[in-house]
């Protein structure tokens, strides 16, 4: 098993936060842009 220092662990959390934030932006943006026109607005 690989061993990580607390500093490494913090860096990994930062990477994950960045990744999932961008996924969230894309998911919310796409849902917004698809659902609203379907309501005829």
Partner 1 sequence: MRPLRDNALSILFGALFLVTLVGQSIAGFLEHNEELQEHGQAFVSFGSFVTSSEFIVDIAENWQSEFLQFFLFIAATIWLVQRGSPESKKPGDEGAGSDEEQMVGEHSREDSPSWARARGFRQVVFSNSLLLVMGTVFVLSWLAQSLAGTVVMNSENAQHGQPPITWLEYLGTPDFWSRTLQNWQSEFLAVGAMIALSIYLRQRGSSESKPVGLPHHTTSVESD
Binding site for partner 1 (CB under 8 A): 1-2, 7, 10-11, 14-15, 17-18, 21-22, 25-26, 29-30, 32-34, 36-38, 40-41
Considering the complex, what minimum distance in angstroms separates the CB of residue 1 from partner 1?
A: 7
Number of H helices, E strands in the chain: 1, 0
Considering the complex, what minimum distance in angstroms separates the CB of residue 22 from partner 1?
A: 7
- In angstroms, the Cα distances linking 3 to 12, 14, 20 are 13, 18, 24
């Amino acid at each position: 098993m690989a061993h990580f220092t607390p500093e490494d662990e913090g860096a990994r959390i930062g990477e994950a936060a960045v990744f999932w934030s961008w996924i969230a932006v894309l998911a919310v943006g796409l849902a917004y842009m698809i659902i609203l026109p379907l309501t005829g607005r």
